[in-house]
Structure 1
Amino acid sequence: MSLLRRFVLDLGSSRLCQRTKSLPLLVLSLFWITGCEYLPHNPDLALSDDELTALRQAAIPADEGILSRFHDHTFVGLGDYHFNEEFMSYATSLVVSDEFVSRAQTVIVEFGNAKFQPLLDSYIAGEQVSRGEMLNVLRGSVFFTAWMPDVYADFFTAVRKANLSRPAHLQIKVVLAEQAFDWQQVKDSEQWQQAASNKVDGFFATVEKVIKSQQKALLIFGAFHLLRIPEGVSKALPDNELTLASRLLRHYPGALYSVWPMAQPEIIEALQPLSGKRLIDAQQPPFSALRFIDLMPKARYRLGKIDSRNAPVSALFDAMLYVGPTQRRTLFPKAVIDERLWVDEMKRRVQLMGGPLESKFTQILAESEQFYR
Structure 2
Amino acid sequence: MMLPWQPAGEALAARLAQHQIVALGEVHWTGQPYDWLCDWLATPGHADLLDTLVVEFGNGRHQAVLDAYLAGEAVSEAALRAVLQDALFGLTWSHPAYLRLLACLRQLNQARPARRRIRVCLAEAPFDWQAPDLAQAWQRALARREDDYYHCVQRQVLAPGRRALLLFGAFHLRRRGETSPQLAQHILDPLGARLARQLGEQIYFIWPHFTADPALNHALTESQAQGQGPRLCHLAGTSLAQQIFGLLHPRLPSDQRLGELTDGYLDLGDLPRRQQLPTDWLADGTWCREIWRRARALPTDAGQALQQQLQRLGIQDN
| TM norm structure 2 | 0.87
Corresponding residue for residue 271 of structure 1: 220
Cα drift, residue 315 of structure 1: 0.7
What SS is found at the alignment partner of 1:68?
A: helix
Corresponding residue for residue 115 of structure 1: 61
Which of 68, 72, 77 matches 2:18?
72
Which of 198, 211, 216 matches 1:251?
198
Q: Does 1:315 align with 2:260?
A: yes
Task: Provide the rounded CA distance (Å) in 2 between the counterparts of 1:125 and 1:105.
Answer: 14
Task: Provide the rounded CA distance (Å) in 2 between the counterparts of 1:284 and 1:356.
Answer: 43
- The answer (yes or no) to whether the contact 2:136–2:299 under 8 Å persists in 1 is no
Task: Provide the rounded CA distance (Å) in 2 between the counterparts of 1:347 and 1:332.
Answer: 15
Corresponding residue for residue 288 of structure 2: 343
1:149-172 deviation per Cα after TM superposition (whole angstroms, max 9, x unaligned): 211122111111111233334321
State the structure with more CA Rg.
1
Higher helix fraction (1 or 2): 1
Corresponding residue for residue 288 of structure 1: 241
1:211-241 deviation per Cα after TM superposition (whole angstroms, max 9, x unaligned): 11111100000111101226988xxx9xx95
What are structure 2's unaligned runs of at least 5 residues?
Answer: none
Corresponding residue for residue 274 of structure 2: 329
Cα drift, residue 268 of structure 1: 3.5
Q: Does 1:92 align with 2:45?
A: no
Q: Does 1:182 align with 2:128?
A: yes
Corresponding residue for residue 155 of structure 1: 101
Cα drift, residue 186 of structure 1: 4.8
Which of 138, 151, 169 matches 1:222?
169
The amino acid across from 1:245 in the alignment is: G
Which of 238, 242, 250 matches 2:189?
242
The amino acid across from 1:102 in the alignment is: D
- The answer (yes or no) to whether the contact 2:50–2:163 under 8 Å persists in 1 is yes
Q: Structure 1 pair 246/317, CA: closer, same or farther in 2 (3 Å)?
A: same
- The answer (yes or no) to whether the contact 2:179–2:188 under 8 Å persists in 1 is no
1:239-277 deviation per Cα after TM superposition (whole angstroms, max 9, x unaligned): x95110111122222232111111236334321232211
What SS is found at the alignment partner of 1:279?
A: strand
Identity %: 29
Corresponding residue for residue 112 of structure 2: 166
Task: Provide the rounded CA distance (Å) in 1 between the counterparts of 2:257 and 2:188.
Answer: 21
Cα drift, residue 61 of structure 1: 0.9
- The answer (yes or no) to whether the contact 1:230–1:311 under 8 Å persists in 2 is no
1:302-359 deviation per Cα after TM superposition (whole angstroms, max 9, x unaligned): xxxxxxx211111111111111111010222222222222112112222333455434
Q: Between Structure 1 and Structure 2, how many residues are aligned?
A: 303
Q: Structure 1 pair 73/338, CA: closer, same or farther in 2 (3 Å)?
A: same
Alignment of 1:126-141 (within 5 A): 126-141=72-87
Cα drift, residue 362 of structure 1: 3.1
Task: Provide the rounded CA distance (Å) in 2 between the counterparts of 1:281 and 1:350.
Answer: 42
Corresponding residue for residue 209 of structure 2: 262
Q: Structure 1 pair 181/230, CA: closer, same or farther in 2 (3 Å)?
A: closer
Task: Provide the rounded CA distance (Å) in 1 between the counterparts of 2:94 and 2:79.
Answer: 14
- The answer (yes or no) to whether the contact 1:179–1:202 under 8 Å persists in 2 is yes
- The answer (yes or no) to whether the contact 2:177–2:188 under 8 Å persists in 1 is no
Task: Provide the rounded CA distance (Å) in 1 between the counterparts of 2:311 and 2:179.
Answer: 44
What are structure 1's unaligned runs of at least 5 residues?
Answer: 1-51, 301-308
| TM norm structure 1 | 0.75
Task: Provide the rounded CA distance (Å) in 1 between the counterparts of 2:255 and 2:290.
Answer: 42
- The answer (yes or no) to whether the contact 1:268–1:324 under 8 Å persists in 2 is no
The amino acid across from 1:244 in the alignment is: L
The amino acid across from 2:165 in the alignment is: L
What SS is found at the alignment partner of 2:123?
A: strand
What SS is found at the alignment partner of 2:265?
A: strand
Task: Provide the rounded CA distance (Å) in 1 between the counterparts of 2:303 and 2:277.
Answer: 15
